[in-house]
Structure 1
């Protein structure tokens, strides 16, 4: 692989980049932590602009970056703080729609190159959905390069008016187990804690938002109540739908537990028989990545960037079809040979994903392209 430069266009000082985060997406935050570490190791100066709680969670400063607190809002104070942090930057790299919009506002009137990475599609309904489409158009038209983590996001950026949209190399990011404990010993402990001793444990992870597909998941669990033993579904996450979901679970007697936000998702997943992804709008879902990495068979909706991510290493079902989702789970629980096949396919699929070094190398090649002086014609 050809080495890429970490110097400014005139070769006089290290390249200085500003990474802009909204702080609300685990996948993009973990990606920026990994990217920061790789960039700093290659001599790049990195400033991460993100809410202070994001730095506490992902320790950007521990990776060698300077951290500047910038709240998630796009009010004038936040934009002014970001504009100040971007002064004298060779380029700015924003992650996610809202962070990208703040970067566009902060760079107004400047010629600093702006790279935008779309890790996922923003979700909303009604008037807010229209507002997000306006933000998307504003961002992609201002960005020098848009990197999309899936082909669908790259196509969306091009349709929205991007001058230059490319597929991003993004390595696995997510909640790796925080323990070195033997998985064979960890598994019974996790299952006992969750109340799944002697019964299948099915794991779903993600914020309790409408677009995550939890209504479909609860519909599907009705079919599993006839199994013996009855599988337990555990959902790790927090969000605005919690009360509504809990009410349904209690009213309908569904075998589902909401365990709230957890920082040990990797360990919980190690105890699961299956991972479930009912959302129809995910791009590079963290649970899908972690399930394949942990060799946990996955049942997911065939939508968004999931087929591209998992290949043939998961059971994929049509979007919006709770019956098909339920049948896929029942079928897989009763077929140990198919489970083992998915584990093996998952390991092979993981091996095709970009490494951290490849991800950093691709980003640096884009940085070099945008900061190297162009020959006079």
Structure 2
């Protein structure tokens, strides 16, 4: 089996997507040959080992055939087709709709190749997407996969096609063995080593992650809990705006933005709680990572989060500063250890990893 893993891009904004694909590929047959293509970005930006990789260094405009690049798209596609033939791939693992739109039209003319498209979040589908998916699904050469039941149900309704659920998961034992102690993690983040209460958050700095709401809610919560600290690990397009908001609110002594950290998954133990204020999510790997690290989570009231934590979750209305402020104050008045234990049992990481591995092996067989 020759597997070609095709990713839209490297870089911090795509780190969680690379993690999911890496976990899927870990279930490939030991004799399988696995190669990776990055349509944009570089391997050095991935923060993970992607093995034998090819960097295409293409812009979004060129990949999407915008403006002048519309004239050159046939040559780009011819280059992809030639490279696909040279790769001798039997199976393509495709990262989302953008990659699928680029490569699936070629798969139609390469009958020995089967494709799997992994959807990591909601997306805008076109009539042409539906037609292409329907044609390849009918010939059993395409499998559509979503990283949560919530996302799979949504896509299946939109496409009127079967969408397989493969809820992303990690090997719990391997994950926990890499988590630093509380003292080590706090030292790495420059936090006090005493019992100062710390709220943590991790994610891309973009509007849909809800960090602006979190900052406003944290400011309000400080009126009742002036001892709190907040750390938001990540980077992205809204970093400057978030930093300006911190300065404007006078939070520079209470809020830290350490940037994107490749080892972020090892640092959850620095926090007493983890906040996930997203406005929307396909799954939210941060929730799984925090719970596996033994840290309780508060999150936006989204179906995909209830899918994972059910009644054990601590939920606040999406983008509601008052609700989030109340949630923060309440969280730091209860036993975080007890909440974390209940959330761990509900998430059931061992069973989730077993289910994920089984589906991944089926897809890659």
Asked if these proteins are the same fold (TM beyond 0.5), I'd say: yes
User: Which among 145, 149, 152 is matched to residue 150 of structure 2?
Assistant: 152
- Contact 1:93–1:114 (CA under 8 A) maintained in structure 2: yes
Q: In structure 1, list runs of 5 or more residues that go unmatched.
A: 1-14, 123-131, 369-377
* Inter-partner Cα distance in structure 2 for 1:179 and 1:113: 35
Match of 2:248 in 1: 251
* Inter-partner Cα distance in structure 2 for 1:343 and 1:165: 32
Structure 1 residues 17 and 104, CA gap change in structure 2 (3 angstroms) = same
Match of 2:213 in 1: 216
Structure 1 residues 47 and 357, CA gap change in structure 2 (3 angstroms) = farther
1:203 aligns with 2:200: yes
Displacement of 1:302 in angstroms is 1.3
> What is the correspondence of 1:117-156 to structure 2 with a 5 Å cutoff?
117-122=118-123, 132-134=124-126, 137=130, 140-141=133-134, 142=136, 144-156=142-154
Match of 1:113 in 2: 114
1:37 aligns with 2:26: yes
Match of 1:186 in 2: 184
User: Which among 25, 29, 48 is matched to residue 36 of structure 2?
Assistant: 48
Q: In structure 2, list runs of 5 or more residues that go unmatched.
A: 66-72
Query: Matched residue of 1:305: which SS?
Result: helix
Structure 1 residues 85 and 57, CA gap change in structure 2 (3 angstroms) = farther
- Contact 1:158–1:164 (CA under 8 A) maintained in structure 2: yes
Displacement of 1:281 in angstroms is 0.5
> What is the correspondence of 1:262-301 to structure 2 with a 5 Å cutoff?
262-301=261-300
Displacement of 1:303 in angstroms is 1.0
* Inter-partner Cα distance in structure 1 for 2:163 and 2:186: 46
Structure 1 residues 185 and 232, CA gap change in structure 2 (3 angstroms) = closer
Displacement of 1:315 in angstroms is 0.5
Displacement of 1:274 in angstroms is 0.8
User: Which among 227, 232, 235 is matched to residue 235 of structure 1?
Assistant: 232
Displacement of 1:331 in angstroms is 0.7
- Contact 1:19–1:46 (CA under 8 A) maintained in structure 2: yes
State which drifts further: 84-93 or 317-326.
Answer: 84-93
Structure 1 residues 320 and 274, CA gap change in structure 2 (3 angstroms) = same
* Inter-partner Cα distance in structure 2 for 1:196 and 1:216: 28
Displacement of 1:98 in angstroms is 1.9
TM-score, normalised via structure 1 length: 0.78
Displacement of 1:27 in angstroms is 2.3
Match of 1:18 in 2: 4
* Inter-partner Cα distance in structure 2 for 1:198 and 1:273: 10
* Inter-partner Cα distance in structure 1 for 2:20 and 2:358: 14
1:28 aligns with 2:26: no
Number of residue equivalences? 336
State which drifts further: 82-91 or 271-280.
Answer: 82-91
Displacement of 1:55 in angstroms is 8.0
Query: Matched residue of 2:218: which SS?
Result: helix
Match of 1:60 in 2: 50
CA-atom RMSD, angstroms?
A: 3.0
Query: Matched residue of 2:261: which SS?
Result: coil
- Contact 2:93–2:115 (CA under 8 A) maintained in structure 1: yes
Displacement of 1:328 in angstroms is 1.1
State which drifts further: 295-304 or 348-357.
Answer: 348-357
